[in-house]
Amino acid sequence: MKILYFAWVRERVGKAEEEVEPPASVKTVADLMQWLVGRGEEYARAFEKPVVRAAIDHTHVKPDAAIAGAREIAFFPPMTGG
């Protein structure tokens, strides 16, 4: 699946997007965050504040949302548009 990062989450991870194939045990958005954190220091930094939001296929989701079937998952800080 494709993962996108925005704003300071993007800066901390050091990339705007990547393709990942998490193991089957990674079932929810929270699982995915935890799995990403295990991949390296930059991910640990990106997800250290408990404020990072997620969207699956362009829709806001909560951490307990299932990721099965997702094409695109995005992680980003709270929105500051308008």
Partner 1 sequence: MSAAAPVPTTIRLQERDFDVAAEIAALTRGRSDIGAVVTFSGICRGGEGSEAIAALTLEHYPGMAEAEIRRHVDEAIARWPLTGVTVIHRYGRLVPGENIVLVVTASAHRQAAFQGAEFLMDYLKANAPFWKREERRAGAATWVEAHRRDDEALTRWKDA
Q: Which residues bind partner 1 (CB under 8 A)?
A: 4, 6-8, 55, 58-60, 74, 76-82
Minimum distance from residue 13 beta carbon to partner 1 (Å)? 14
Nearer to partner 1, 63 or 77 (CB): 77
Nearer to partner 1, 12 or 32 (CB): 12
Quote the tokens at residue 10: 């993007």
Minimum distance from residue 78 beta carbon to partner 1 (Å)? 3
Nearer to partner 1, 38 or 81 (CB): 81
Minimum distance from residue 55 beta carbon to partner 1 (Å)? 6
SS3 per residue for 1-64: CEEEECHHHHHHHCCCEEECCCCCCCCEHHHHHHHHHCCCHHHHHHCCCCCCEEEECCEEECCC
